[in-house]
Structure 1
Amino acid sequence: MLTRHSIDTVVRAALDEDAPWGDLTSEMLIPSAATATAALVAREPGVFSGSAVFESAFRQTNAAITVTLQVADGDAFAAGDTLAVVSGSARGILQAERIGLNFVQRMSGIATLTAAYVAEAEGTSARIVDTRKTTPGLRVLERHAVRDGGGHNHRFSLSDAVMAKDNHLAILTAGGLDVTTALRQVRERLSHTTHLEVEVDRIDQIEPVVSAGVDTIMLDNFSPADLRTGVALVAGRAIVEASGGVNLQTVGSIAATGVDVISVGALTHSVHSLDLGLDVVITPPPASVDLPIV
């Protein structure tokens, strides 16, 4: 969950990295009492995400700076739209600008890409979910951006659920136990609140895994035809997740096979940051008035 504490912790580290001893340029060029107003403007269309993170960069730099949002997280916008207005200390705005932009550009990029995947799966029952292929230290932000784009989150960390992949199963069954028996023993040791997911990469592995009473079975790198076969074999006994080979060209056909979940690593590991800019708003001085000569 994205909390103020988690936001401020990540943003504080970024601010300290970017200006460990202050912003030398602004301190040399900008009077300390100078104020400014700047607009966060979209250079390309997208879906907005990261409002609280953007605000945190300015608030932690100078608490008197105000950020007025023009859109909310999850809102779509067009090129040229003003997304937020920042007002206050000119030095503070300039110092926090890059960090605020870096976060909101990346998070909006993730939300925008996620929304495109969700649109391709529209009309099916498939959920688009992320993976653990996130930027180290930024997972809580990137996962929030996926939700802003209409997607859902997979397990947050290795501590949240049991997810057995091929290497886990190879070691688990090395003592001679068959997969079904080995997984049933795992199920018996788990609390009733702990989710058990198992990955398979062949159709013949499906029945032995589902028979063990798993909660989710992941069909990894299955063709659409094999996914349909897999969904029929599972027959509602477990959640069916599709993974591997998922892109914007294939996700629609994968969703149409009847799977419940489609996990997409590209949502966070192959995204490009949206082009957003922070433009200082220059207020022209009042027009001169010719006063009568007395």
Structure 2
Amino acid sequence: MLTRPEIERVVAAALAEDAPWGDVTAEAFVPAAAQARAELVAREAGTFSGGDVFAAAFALTDAAIAVTVHVADGDTFAAGDVLATVTGPARGVLTAERIGLNFVQRMSGIATLTSRYVAAVAGTGARIADTRKTTPGLRAIERHAVRCGGGHNHRHSLSDAVMVKDNHLAVLTTAGTSITDALRSGMQSVPHTMRVEVEVDRLEQIPAVLAAGVDIIMLDNFALDDLRTGVALIAGRAVVEASGGVSLETVEAIAATGVDVVSVGALTHSARAIDLGLDIRVDAAPEAATS
């Protein structure tokens, strides 16, 4: 769930970056009393995400601006659809325009790409999950966008789940300790409420990892035949995740091997922003209209 404090944190930082000492153009050239009406219009089809974030960009700029979002996060839209309406003081609308667009275009791009991956694996039983390959400081909103597209979130941070990767295993077994013993030793300090995932990069590692009693095994960069063999070896004794080299062209075949989860870094690190525009009409200031 994307919370109001998370939204305000990222939006306030973006606004401060974009107008640290105010919007000198709007202040010099736009009358203080001028009012504006703007429509957020889709230039292409997609899946929507970021309505609350878009609205916050205007609300934090000027509380007198009103934003009405016409679609819900997760809804699909077509080119030409009006997704939101913005009304209020023109200076504030113009100041917040780029930040509001940046967020909603980025988030809708992630949601749209995620929805394509989800559609590609429909019927396989596998779920699509994101990774920690997110933009620093923007993880909460990018992961919200993944959920809007029908995907699932992996661990949120290094603090909320154990994931022993290949580099961890290399360090753990340097002194000659077996993978099983090293994992069992580390798991003694892990709370019973926390799941443990281990990444393997070859089939030969699976029995030793299974013997430690872990919850999830990630098969990293496995060929399709090896994925099928890995799923058979694990035989339901742990959740099986596939990762590495996943694309829209390969994801269906990967999911069809019987894995439970396919994690895709591209959902957040390679999503293209959706083309949305803010069409603005500025009304004359009242004093100018009656002079």
Q: Does residue 42 in structure 1 map to residue 46 in structure 2?
A: no
Q: Hey, what's the Cα distance between the residues in 2 that align with 1:216 and 1:49?
A: 30
Aligned 8 A contact 2:40 2:279 in 1: yes
Q: Does residue 278 in structure 1 map to residue 278 in structure 2?
A: yes
Runs of 4+ in structure 1 over 6 Å off? none
Q: Give the AA of the match of 1:84.
A: A
- The C-alpha deviation readout for 1:126-184, integer Å capped at 9, x for no partner, is 11000010001100110000000000000111111111111111111122211111111
Percent of aligned pairs sharing the same letter: 69
Unaligned runs of 5+ in 1: 285-294
- The C-alpha deviation readout for 1:255-285, integer Å capped at 9, x for no partner, is 111100100000011111111000014789x
- Give the secondary-structure state (helix, strand or coil) at the position aligned to 1:271: coil
- Give the secondary-structure state (helix, strand or coil) at the position aligned to 2:84: strand
Comparing 246-255 with 24-33, greater Cα deviation is found at 24-33
Aligned 8 A contact 2:74 2:111 in 1: yes
- Give the secondary-structure state (helix, strand or coil) at the position aligned to 1:277: strand
Q: Hey, what's the Cα distance between the residues in 2 that align with 1:2 and 1:205?
A: 38
Aligned 8 A contact 2:126 2:258 in 1: yes
Q: Hey, what's the Cα distance between the residues in 2 that align with 1:71 and 1:98?
A: 20
- The C-alpha deviation readout for 1:75-104, integer Å capped at 9, x for no partner, is 000011000000011111000000000000
When the two structures are superposed, what TM-score results if normalisation uses the length of structure 1? Answer: 0.94
Aligned residue in 2 for 1:6? 6
Structure 1 residue 20: deviation in Å?
Answer: 1.1
Q: Hey, what's the Cα distance between the residues in 2 that align with 1:281 and 1:210?
A: 63
After TM superposition, list the pairs within 5 Å mapping 1:149-168 onto structure 2: 149-168=149-168
- Give the secondary-structure state (helix, strand or coil) at the position aligned to 1:197: strand
After TM superposition, list the pairs within 5 Å mapping 1:1-294 onto structure 2: 1-281=1-281
Structure 1 residue 189: deviation in Å?
Answer: 2.2
Aligned 8 A contact 1:187 1:213 in 2: no
Give 1 or 2 for the bigger CA radius of gyration: 1
Q: Hey, what's the Cα distance between the residues in 2 that align with 1:167 and 1:118?
A: 30
Q: Give the AA of the match of 2:176.
A: G
- Give the secondary-structure state (helix, strand or coil) at the position aligned to 1:160: coil
What is the aligned-residue RMSD (CA, Å)?
Answer: 1.2
Q: Hey, what's the Cα distance between the residues in 1 that align with 2:181 and 2:193?
A: 21
Equivalences, count: 284
After superposition, the Cα gap between the structure-2 partners of 1:283 and 1:79, relative to the gap in structure 1 and judged at 3 Å, is farther
Aligned residue in 2 for 1:291? none
Aligned residue in 1 for 2:288? none
Q: Hey, what's the Cα distance between the residues in 2 that align with 1:27 and 1:177?
A: 67
- Give the secondary-structure state (helix, strand or coil) at the position aligned to 1:189: coil
When the two structures are superposed, what TM-score results if normalisation uses the length of structure 2? Answer: 0.95
Q: Hey, what's the Cα distance between the residues in 2 that align with 1:282 and 1:46?
A: 28
- The C-alpha deviation readout for 1:48-76, integer Å capped at 9, x for no partner, is 00011100000001101111111000000
Unaligned runs of 5+ in 2: 285-291
